[in-house]
Structure 1
Amino acid sequence: MRENLPVTQTEYALQDGEMLVSTTDVHSVITHCNAAFERASGYSCAELIGQPHNMIRHPDMPREAFRDMWATLKEGRPWSAIVKNRRKNGDHYWVQANVTPMMEHGQISGYLSVRTTPSREQVREAEALYARMRTEEHENRQSLALHRGQVWPRGWRGSLLRALRLGASGRISLAMFSVALLGIGLDLAPGAHTGWMPWIHAGVLLAATGLIAWFVHRTLTLPLRQMVTHANRLAACDLASAIPTQGNTELGRMARALNQMRVNLRAVVSDVRRQVAELDECALEISHGGQDLSRRTESQASALQQTATSMEQIIGSVRANAQHAAQASAMSVESSTAAQRGSDAVSGVVDTMDRIADSSRKVADIIQVIDGIAFQTNLLALNAAVEAARAGSQGRGFAVVAGEVRALARRTSEAAREIKQLISQSVDQIEAGNTQVRHAGHTVAAIIESVQRADALVQTITRSSAEQTEGIAQVNAAVSDLDGMTQQNAALVEQSAAAAMDLQRRAESLKLAVGVFRMA
């Protein structure tokens, strides 16, 4: 026998009214279990399905209990007893085990186990009994045995006690034969009758008693056995076999009641199966829809994360543009200031050129005066030469002086004309320079105006960039909030999908649970 270790001797208390249900095949391999069985055993359904049922067997259970269980089940009879089972962590729990063979086409197709919570008195009695049986088994002096879940002495005493425990027909037959024997004894008593009459009376009485016993067996015992057989089939979840009814007797009414119970169970099970099938289909649709929504939500969350990343990059770009615009604005201010200084310098140059032109014109006037003086000096020298010629030898020296003066006046006049020509050229160049300087002043003023307009435009761009930065930050915050909500929605979708899958699993488990009922 399989021995599952270790054990802790710590009891796991079942909840009141909790029912642990499992089914196995003919080889005792678990094919279905409910949630209560999972909780009590400590194993998950996935760990239990496909495993031998003795994986929860506790080593404190005596071998005799399981020998009796299998002997009873192989007879096609249900078996019931208090059982101690082992949990996955080594703890234990007590149950009132009710095992029923499931029949199909007259053959055992599996076993249905339904366990309920026993009373503490039942647990104490079973614990004491099993401890005694284990001790006797270890010492090889077994005095007790189990028969169909009941405790009996071993040997002939147990066999005799079981034989004396008659059924209803046996008891009736025994009572009738006892009455017949009493009558026979009275007839055969000394002095009661003489001759063959007592023996004839005894034979008639025995024949009548046998006939009545046969009649009771046929009309009471056989129908009762049939009802027990059908009741066992109902207990084994076989709802396909109809129970034959026999008249309007108590047995007939009992058969009709059992048959009506079978029909009602068929109706309920059929309706439950149909509802479970619809529930399974709905759960499958919900699961598929939840999975599709989960994929879409994950895709949306990914897109939002990419959008948030892009928004962060845009915010960085806008902030950089705003910084560049601010730098450009500062440079525009500097350029405007420099251009203003250049304009002021050009204005100063224009004023200087005007003053130079005025001075040149004054110098030209002075040169003209000098040229006039040279012309008059030349006339005076001519007059002096004429007077020296009249004076003859006495005016010869004066004539030389007059000639020198005239030559000086001629050179002075020529120099004055050259200076005048140079000054005239200088004045023309100054006028041309003055015109160019004025043009440069206008150009600088236009540059200043353009720089001012550019500075105003840069200021507008800076303000717009700041507003865009704030707006994009708000959009980014909204996208982040939306991303957070999407993540929460994704979590909710995953929970919904998990709930749908759990609902589908429970519907499948319910389908398996209802599937133990055989309808045809």
Structure 2
Amino acid sequence: MQVTASRSDAITQRRTSPRIQTPPPPPPVFEPAQRSIAVRDEAFVFPEHELLMSTTDRTGRITHCNAAFCHVSGYNSMDELMGQPHNMVRHPDMPAEAFKDMWATIGHGRTWTGLVKNLRKDRRYYWVRAYVTPIMEGGKPRGHMSVRVKPTDGEVRAATALYARFRQGTQGWQIGLQAMLLAALTGLVLYRQHLRITQPFEAAVSLCSDIAGCKLDGALPAYQGRHPMGFLLERLKQVQTNLRAVVGDARHEIDGFSSLAGQIEQSARHMQQASQTIQQVVASVTDVSQLLQDVTTAADAQSQGIAQVNDALHDLDTVTQDNAQLAEVSAQSAHHMDAHAGILRRTLDICRL
């Protein structure tokens, strides 16, 4: 995670965040990013509506992140980031003093806000405004949640110049921060006096309208850093940003479940259609089985008929043989009769003489 305090952010975190008397957490398990790492001097710009959210444990290892954070950081899935040290997205241009200030702030249970330059997997960079909120358990921080939004171009230019001076060693972090705070306070005091004289009613009406419409971004510029209400609005904005990130992450998961439910429903329809097809196949198989049974019965009947025909043919053959024998006997009898007839004729002829 990359973080550096901007002017109004530093004022807010030091004046409004409640102090919790707890010892700071142990230092992260990882070392700061190496300055010798190869980077590409090419910015990756993401849409303004994107909210990048991640959570880490007390040692700085990633325990959760949303799809937007994975995408903007150049990773394909959450699995590539889970359990990894958060400094894998730390750009070497980020001064170490910024992270020391961040860890000291959230270690005492306070919220930290700042401009951060992050490193993508493809070695390009992207800028974010980070809202780092400690996750408290038993009065002690057990981790933190970071919600990041897209900063303005002016904020990026100012942070780039400031970090360059830190790296060059022309001024220390604390000195630069104090000078930045002093300049901010001076300008804010003068601006406050001006607005008190010229725009009290207009600002009040605008503030009420913005709060009623949950447009906290519009209310903050007029009140931040110069009025007690501004500090409250800053906290409300952080809460709003965190809630948007959490709700957006939950909505993403719900959309995933809805898509999965749709796929399951479609699969159920396909299974129902397949079941109907199977039932039709079973019915067809039953018909074929009945047909085969009928064919088998007919074949049995045909076999019986053939056997009867064979029996009849056998009987006919026997009768034929018997007839042949009878014919032979008849022929013999006829021959004998013919012989007897001849004898009888001869006898009659003798009698006539």
Structure possessing the higher radius of gyration over alpha carbons: 1
TM-score, with normalisation over the residues of structure 1? 0.36
TM-score, with normalisation over the residues of structure 2? 0.49
